[in-house]
Chains A and B, each alone.
Chain A
Amino acid sequence: MLRRITDLAMYVLALLWLFPLLWAMWTAFRPREKAITWDLSLEFTFDNFIHVWNSAPFAQYYLNTFLIVAGVLVVQFVTATLAAYAFAKLRFWGRDVLFILVLVQLMVPPDILIFPNYNVLRDLSLIDTKLGIMMPYFASAFGIFLLRQVFKTIPYELQEAARMEGCRWWQVLWKLYIPLARPTYVAFGLVSVSYHWNNFLWPLIITNSVENRPLTVGLAIFAQSFETGAQWAEVTAATVMVILPLLLAFLLFQRQFLNSFIHSGMK
């Protein structure tokens, strides 16, 4: 009996949680004039999507988001790998102090330094550039920390053996450490991609032209250009367009996604 009630309650909760998405999907495919009514006719249309695609430069926004996400990820991989290797495998002067300094970023992330970081980018003349959106995230304390944990578990003997074979340090990294840490790279990659795909406030502050705006900022501008309920169908279609790639990726790679959040969170 108790089992049944729990089952029911948790399924109701799941439906409640799904409701906003289902409603958005439903509305996005409804004819404009039907969007704000609740009659359950089976009229569906692609018009909203076509209209949205033609009335705002979403293709450009997609491209921008893609470039920003990929750029951040590639640079983070390089900087975090090098730093993690140094912290995990080398004994050097100032290591502990430096590590603590790196961890400060976990407590004071760039997200809240919007104002001083804006000043830094202005001094570098990088306002309204994609590079400006990406740069504050190029070094990731989180990535360094995750990779350092994995690198530490890789036995030193393997590295010695590779060195005996005549591998240079970067070959050791490339052929030994990186392949062995692959699950961590996947985990960190998924977290980083979803984070930067969704990031909003910082790109909003730093960009003011179509060429550099990511999807989130483009969506916000598009949504705010409407004032009446009549255009809901279009705003919802635009919203669905923005969330769809990541949502599909999530559904396809559900297991990896969930695991990556588990691993990245627990370490």
Chain B
Amino acid sequence: MEREQRLASFKVNAYAWLLLLPSLIFLVLFTFYPVIQTVLLSFYQADLGTPEPLFNGIDNYKRMLEDDVFWKVITNNLWFALWTVPTSMVLALLMALYANHVLRGKGFIRTAYFYPTVLPMIAAANIWLFIYTPEYGALSHVLQWIGLDQLNWLGDQDLVMWAMVIMVVWKEAGYFMIFYLAGLQNISQELYESASVDGARPWTVFRRVTFPLLMPTTLFVMIIATTNSFKLVDHLVIMTKGGPDNASSLLLYYIYEHAFTFWDQGMAATLTFVMIVILLLIAAVQFFGMDKKIHYN
């Protein structure tokens, strides 16, 4: 009897592991092994001058911390997150509140807000490159039209990040709107009915009912938006190449440059490790901050 049970349990185990095997192979090959390799390689000097990796302890980390460009890139990325995340979230909430209530042209409104999401970033970058170009570009035409001087959006160190922020907000706000729309639809109508019976004003209803109940959505969107602000770099390849003078470079683009332009593998690994730590920190916020506040119903 016991043997039969053990046999049955062995069979279930073998069967489950076989079902998981295909996924596990790819996960190990392209997530776990690369992460471990990254951590190991970050302690080696491995560049064009040292084809055989040479152990150098924490030298890469020291070099990274002394690298002005690294700090510039990190500052850029934080600044980029600080502007894109709240701006696109506020816009997304407004869009959702409106798209949820509007009677005429609902489909049009939603489509107009959402469509940038399905465009490749690289195509969006091409279009926006033309919008930002001095002299011929759309923005220049508009500025001229209202009698202002044109600006060199992508060539000016002080403007280039603003240009990137505006484009990314345009690309992402509609995507986050979708989550808010879903969140709004989950709020029970009865709450609104009783609020209107009490004679509550729209702003009070929003502050007391809608917004608090959208809190889980807001946290969720915030996590995605923050993670995205570290992952979105395609447009830099087309629009600025991180310039002028690294003014628009972001962490992932800096990794790309170190790995595939400078071929400094040790430093690329070190920077990738920093990126992994940042993403894990965001995930930790999600785990500890969000799980407790979300109530599944």
Contact = CB atoms under 8 A, between A and B. Distances in A.
Interface of A: 6-7, 10-11, 13-15, 17-21, 23-24, 27, 36, 38, 78-80, 82-83, 85-87, 90-93, 95, 98, 101-102, 104-120, 135-136, 138-139, 141, 144, 169, 194, 197-201, 204-205, 215-216, 219-220, 223-224, 229, 232, 235-236, 238-239, 242-243, 246-247, 250-251, 254, 257-258, 261-262, 265-266
B200 interface: no
Q: Which of A11, A136, A139 has the most CB of B within 10 A?
A: A139
A246 B237 CA distance: 22
B260 interface: yes
A117 B30 contact: yes
Interface of B: 12-13, 15-17, 19-20, 22-27, 29-35, 37-38, 41, 91, 94-95, 98, 102, 105, 107-124, 126-128, 130-131, 133, 135-136, 138, 141, 170, 174-175, 178-179, 181-182, 220, 224, 230-231, 233-234, 237-238, 252, 255-256, 258-260, 265, 268-269, 272, 275-276, 279-280, 282-283
A105 B31 contact: yes
Contacts of B279: 107-108, 112
A139 B22 contact: yes
B90 to A, nearest CB: 12
Given A18-B112, A113-B38, A220-B237, A82 B23 contact: yes
B231 A112 contact: yes
Interface of A is mostly: helix
Contacts of B237: 200-201, 204, 220
Contact of A112 (B20, B37, B128, B276): B276
Nearest to A205: B260
8 contacts: A82-B19, A82-B20, A104-B31, A135-B30, A136-B26, A138-B30, A200-B121, A262-B182
A100 to B, nearest CB: 11
B120 A216 contact: yes
Given A83-B19, A113-B30, A265-B178, 13 more contacts: A13-B95, A98-B24, A108-B276, A120-B34, A139-B22, A216-B120, A219-B122, A223-B238, A224-B238, A236-B126, A243-B120, A251-B111, A261-B178
B131 A116 contact: no
A82 to B, nearest CB: 4
Contacts of B12: 90-92
Nearest to A119: B37
A201 B17 CA distance: 33
A110 B30 CA distance: 7
Contact of B22 (A78, A95, A250, A254): A78
B27 A198 contact: no
Nearest to B186: A266
Contact of B108 (A14, A78, A135): A14
Contact of A113 (B23, B95, B178, B272): B272
Nearest to A232: B130
Contacts of B108: 14
Contacts of B141: 38
A116 B115 contact: no
A42 B116 CA distance: 27
Contacts of B29: 120, 135
Contacts of A17: 112-113, 115-116, 170, 174
Q: Which of A6, A14, A205 has the most CB of B within 10 A?
A: A14
A224 B282 CA distance: 35
Nearest to B108: A14
B123 A239 contact: yes
A83 B22 CA distance: 8
A115 B255 contact: yes
Contacts of B260: 115, 118, 205
A169 to B, nearest CB: 8
B174 A216 contact: no
Contacts of A110: 30-31
Contacts of B20: 82-83, 86-87, 98
A115 B269 contact: yes
A169 B18 CA distance: 13
Nearest to A92: B16
B122 A20 contact: no
A216 B115 CA distance: 17
> Which 8 residue pairs spanning A and B have beta carbons closest together?
A116-B34, A139-B26, A198-B120, A92-B16, A14-B112, A115-B259, A107-B283, A86-B19
B114 to A, nearest CB: 7
A85 B19 CA distance: 8
